[in-house]
């Protein structure tokens, strides 16, 4: 699917006619697209045989063409929203800064371990995993099942590769690394 601009020659009235009746208003004031939504979460429609993102079509219908080097961003963070008052022209770098400021984007050096916006565990849970694994009584699969995470994530925690603030120690009776709370015996 291309993300091209609405087809040249289409009037605002033509675009509005295609958008009409294909959205519903949310309590937040978004006009949420009810037609086809692509795997990235954006509404799409076909205009003259081309797939166009619905929010871009709505912006063009309300404000005119999208200028070179610009993209249509959402103030509301709702990819399905086609409300022109929630849309603005911006750059990709503006959109990324906005995503970071709203905690919608993973930043490798900002927000690791339990401080990451999508962390599945608290720092205390990560240390519990490390402490239990270091006893030699539990496998990584056992701990994964107990804490609701996959074995691979447990492996990252016990190797010190997870971003959690833990210290690698030797697992009891195995000579393999395990983890405990930083500064703990």
For residues 99 and 4, the model is more confident at 99
Give the tens place of pLDDT for each residue, 92-118.
888 888 887 887 765 555 545 555 555
Do 142 and 78 fall into the same domain?
no
pTM of the full structure: 0.53
Q: How sure is the predictor about 9, in pLDDT bands with cuts at 50, 70 and 90?
A: low
Question: Is 5 part of a structural domain of the chain?
Answer: no
Instruction: Establish if 6 belongs to a structural domain.
Output: no
How many separate domains does the chain show? Answer: 2
pLDDT of 136 > 90? The answer is: no
DSSP tag of 107: B
Q: Identify the pLDDT of residue 29.
A: 92
Same domain, 147 and 95: no
Query: Binning pLDDT at 50, 70 and 90, where does residue 129 land?
Result: confident
Domain boundary among 101, 133, 164: 101
Residues 21 and 48 in one domain: yes
Mean pLDDT, rounded, of the chain:
77
Give residue-wise pLDDT tens across range 40-85: 999 998 877 888 899 999 998 888 888 888 999 998 889 999 999 9
Domain assignment of residue 34, given as a range: 12-101
Same domain, 128 and 88: no
Of 71, 101, 131, the one marking the end of a domain is 101
Within 20-87, residue ranges assigned H as helices are 54-63
Shared domain for 87 and 122, answered yes or no, is no
pLDDT bucket at 181, cuts 50 / 70 / 90: very low
173 domain-assigned: yes
Write down which residue in 55, 79, 101 finishes a domain.
101
Asked if residue 86 has pLDDT above 90, the reply is yes
Tell me how far the alpha carbon of residue 86 is from its chain's centroid: 19
Domain with residue 135: its CATH number is 1.10.10
Is the pLDDT at 36 greater than 80? The verdict is yes
pLDDT at 182: 46
**Which residues share a beta bridge with 24?**
32
Question: For the stretch 87-110, what's the b/e string if a residue is b when 16 or more beta carbons lie within 10 angstroms of its beta carbon?
Answer: beebeeeebeebeeeeeeeeeeee
E-strand ranges in the chain read: 23-25, 31-33, 44-47, 50-53, 71-74, 87-90, 166-170, 177-181
- Tell me, what's the pLDDT at 3? 40
Instruction: Assess whether 176 and 128 both reside in one domain.
Output: yes
Q: What are phi and psi of 109, to 5 degrees?
A: -100, 5
Whether residues 97 and 138 fall in one domain: no
Same domain, 118 and 95: no
């Amino acid at each position: 699917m291309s993300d091209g601009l609405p087809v040249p020659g289409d009037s605002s009235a033509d675009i509005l006619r295609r958008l009409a009746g294909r959205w519903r208003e949310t309590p937040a004031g978004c006009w949420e697209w009810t037609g086809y939504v692509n795997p990235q979460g954006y509404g799409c429609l076909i205009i003259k045989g081309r797939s166009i993102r619905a929010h871009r079509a709505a912006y063009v219908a309300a404000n005119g063409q999208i200028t070179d080097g610009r993209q249509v961003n959402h103030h509301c963070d709702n990819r399905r929203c086609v409300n022109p008052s929630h849309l603005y022209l911006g750059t990709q770098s503006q959109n990324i800064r906005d995503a970071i400021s709203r905690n919608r984007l993973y930043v490798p050096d900002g927000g690791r371990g339990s401080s990451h916006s999508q962390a599945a565990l608290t720092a205390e849970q990560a240390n519990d995993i490390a402490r239990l694994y270091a006893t030699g009584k539990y496998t990584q699969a056992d701990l994964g099942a107990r804490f609701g995470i996959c074995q691979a994530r447990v492996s990252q925690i016990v190797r010190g590769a997870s971003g959690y603030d833990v210290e690698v120690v030797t697992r009891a009776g195995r000579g393999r690394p395990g983890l405990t709370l930083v500064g703990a015996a």
